[in-house]
Amino acid sequence: MTEERTVLLERIATCVARGKVNEASKIPPDMAGQPGAVELVRQALDLGIEPMTVINEGLSVGMRRVGDLFSQQKAFIPDMLLASRAFTAALEVVKERFNFGEGDARGVFIIGTVLGDLHDIGKNLVAHIVAGAGYHVVDLGVNVPPERFVEEARKYEHCAVGLSTLLTTTMPNMEKTVKLLREQCPQVPVIVGGAPVSDSFASRIGANARGEDPRDAVRWLDETFSPA
């Protein structure tokens, strides 16, 4: 089982890294006719592998791999796009089983990727997992201007805001967003996250917390919304 599990997770990572969505995908040509990320994720879940393990040790590993190849100029933007297509399609399979759900009882969580940044896979994962934990999630999407977060936060008496960014170049926009939220809605707690965001950056820009991953965001929301 352990070896089968390792092999399967590695195959899932390879499918994502190479943009192999499903068996019918013709890309990449050397994998034609083979199962893709969708079928392999289904197999992994049937084998009893935990959904979060499939995400962290399969899908996300593939994504990191294509990112590393991009850094080395051995992969290009179309490769990253194909990989994100495979990741997103396979995540749908996980969602069917994991019951991410739609909460509305525990509090409102407004989330978005900051202005200038189009990366949404990590942000979507956080949104799904927070919703599955029972929060009402308002997803503002990508490339969200600071004013849009403020506009949405003003609609709710109690809410928290989550900001995501993957680019070092858009970290200043995260800072601007936190600053505007602090000025316009000082009572709204803010969590920031994404690969380039460190604890020290989060505290320097005045965010209440930094999330390493979606679980961190849930833990923080649980503390933030729990009655005193």
**For binding to ligand B1M (CB under 6 A), which residues are involved?**
60, 63-64, 66-67, 70-71, 77, 80-81, 83-84, 111, 116-123, 125-126, 162-164, 166-169, 191-196, 211, 213-214, 217
Distance, in Å, from the CA atom of 96 to the CA atom of 139, rounded to the nearest integer, reads 19
Please, what is the minimum distance in Å from the beta carbon of residue 201 to ligand B1M?
A: 13
**Closest CB to ligand B1M among 45 and 218?**
218
Please, what is the minimum distance in Å from the beta carbon of residue 113 to ligand B1M?
A: 8
**Closest CB to ligand B1M among 45 and 130?**
130
Please, what is the minimum distance in Å from the beta carbon of residue 73 to ligand B1M?
A: 10
**Closest CB to ligand B1M among 5 and 64?**
64
Give residue 30's region: left, alpha or beta (phi > 0; psi -120 to 50).
alpha
Distance, in Å, from the CA atom of 193 to the CA atom of 63, rounded to the nearest integer, reads 17
Residue ranges with strand state E in the chain: 108-113, 136-139, 159-164, 190-193, 209-211
**Closest CB to ligand B1M among 12 and 66?**
66
Closest-by-Cβ residue to ligand B1M is: 122
**Closest CB to ligand B1M among 39 and 120?**
120
Please, what is the minimum distance in Å from the beta carbon of residue 22 to ligand B1M?
A: 18
- Quick one: which H or E segment has residue 36? none
The DSSP output letter for 114 is: B
DSSP reduced 3-state for 144: strand
Rg (CA), the chain: 18
Residue 213 burial by CB count (10 A; 0-12/13-18/19+): exposed, middle or buried?
A: middle
